[in-house]
Amino acid sequence: MESIELSDVQGFLLSDYNDMRSSRYVMLQVTNASAAKQFIQDITAEVTHAKAANSNNRLNIAFTAPGLQALGLKEDNLNGFVREFREGMVTPHRQRLLGDFDSSAPENWKWGGPTNEHPHILLMIFGTDTSAVEAYSNTLRGKYAAGLREVFQTEAHVQPGNKESFGFRDGIAQPFIKGSGISGKESDNLNAGEFLMGYKSEYNVYPDTPYLTYPQGTMDILHDDIAGSGNKDLGRNGTYMVLRQLQQDVKGYWTFLNEQTKDEHGKPDVKASKKLAAKMMGRWPSGAPIVKWPDEDPVDMYPDRDPEEFINDNDFLYNKEDKTGTRCPFGAHTRRTNPRDSFEENTEKESIKLSNRHRIIRRARSYGPTFVGSPTDFTPPGEVGLMFACFNADISRQFEFIQYTWANYPKFKQLVNDPDPFIGVKEKPEPGLEQVFTIPQKPVNCYVTGLQRFVHVKGGAYFFMPSITVIKYLATI
């Protein structure tokens, strides 16, 4: 097991910062490269790394490919980054992979799309409350105004119970990086190279890393390429960050579920609606796994017991405990985006091995008014959604594979016309195509027909989140 150089790794990769309840995502465009690099130099010591002490504020920074180019990185050096990062999220090919069409098409985005100004640098500012974030943001603005211009910003926050606006507890089943000092159950402990460049992956090889082929800047502060190329490494202790702004149609979602579960008198059945929601998600709103509790949320069943007993439970396998999918359907969001031991027709050990080659570390925060939906309360006082971020060392094999192969593909497992009910449904399907959600039952399966799209993409980009060392280096190019 390799030891991670934690003081060189930006902290948001290893921590969700849930003690920092408020945050702001600020996207900047370079207007004066020299002044922008001076700003980067000035704040390098403030960037939160994985061994940083607690404070009232935290700061992390990431760059797009156009941003690195605007700072002066030569094309030969920029070409060392993976194609997905260099091309960005809005090429026609990538649009097809991610399913970004109709209202989610890039030309309709608020930022990151072809009709928007390019974001070059992303500042992620975290604070104990909104006033702390505002004060720190103003301080930073005074430093970057000479070289950077704001093109978009949004507030994001951690909601009560760590729930997102549909009403589900979020961020439960996460992988852990070996050598980081943080671990979980054995099957969730992954080699560092799945998420950090410069370390071996689950394939026991080093992930592709960008290195300098053209001399630029103060190169002697950089690590040598550990794979032995003899070049200086821009990637070590860095990662790729996917950021997507996902608007949630909470009213449409719960209205659809309530309609599907009316009783024989045509009246809403709250319990049935909540159960159908859990079947689609793979967990109850509390976070309890439906594979263990298929009929009712244990937090509701046992109000006198400590809910912590149930809500963070991640110790289960699908084939081992629910091979036929009668507890947690094959098409449930959490089952298809992390199949665990049910990866196609493989043994338990092989399935877990293969599933773990497509894991991501998720970091999602809610934007808009604080709102946690339910079958009886589903009308937020404004637009709500997620600033969804994830980290991976291989965008294609990890994030894009999950979205295209597991979420969008309607023939996942034994299914036929079943996209992921949250992130895979087409807003305007082809004529004659009916999107369904299959609930395996005996003797006959149950089918929820006419699925609708309740999550709409409002912005997105691929970022490089470099090490502290490389942030220092970028100020010298």
Q: Tell me the mean pLDDT per 10 residues along the chain, length 477.
A: 92 96 98 98 97 88 98 97 97 97 98 96 97 97 98 98 97 95 92 97 96 96 91 97 98 98 92 98 98 96 93 93 95 96 89 95 98 98 98 98 96 91 96 94 94 98 98 98
What phi and psi, each to the nearest 5 degrees, are found at residue 366? -80, 145
Q: Element (H or E) spanning 300, and its range?
A: helix 298-301
Q: Element (H or E) spanning 281, and its range?
A: helix 270-281
Q: Does the bond joining 443 to the residue before it have cis omega, within 30 degrees of 0?
A: yes
Distance CA 156, CA 10 (A): 19
pTM of the shown model: 0.97
pLDDT tens for 279-324 read 999 999 999 999 999 999 999 999 999 999 999 999 999 999 999 9
Closest C-alpha to 437, from 424, 429, 262, 385: 424
**Helix H segments across 162-269?**
250-260
What pLDDT was estimated at residue 345?
82
Cα-atom radius of gyration of the chain, to the nearest Å?
Answer: 22
Q: Where are the domains of the chain?
A: 6-244+460-474
Closest C-alpha to 237, from 1, 474, 5: 5
What phi and psi, each to the nearest 5 degrees, are found at residue 25? -105, 115
Q: Does the bond joining 431 to the residue before it have cis omega, within 30 degrees of 0?
A: no
Sign for the CA dihedral angle at 113, 118, 120, 124 comes to negative
Task: Kindly give the interhelix angle for 270-281 and 250-260, rounded to the nearest 10 degrees.
Answer: 110
Location of structure tokens 């080093």? 206
Distance CA 258, CA 267 (A): 9
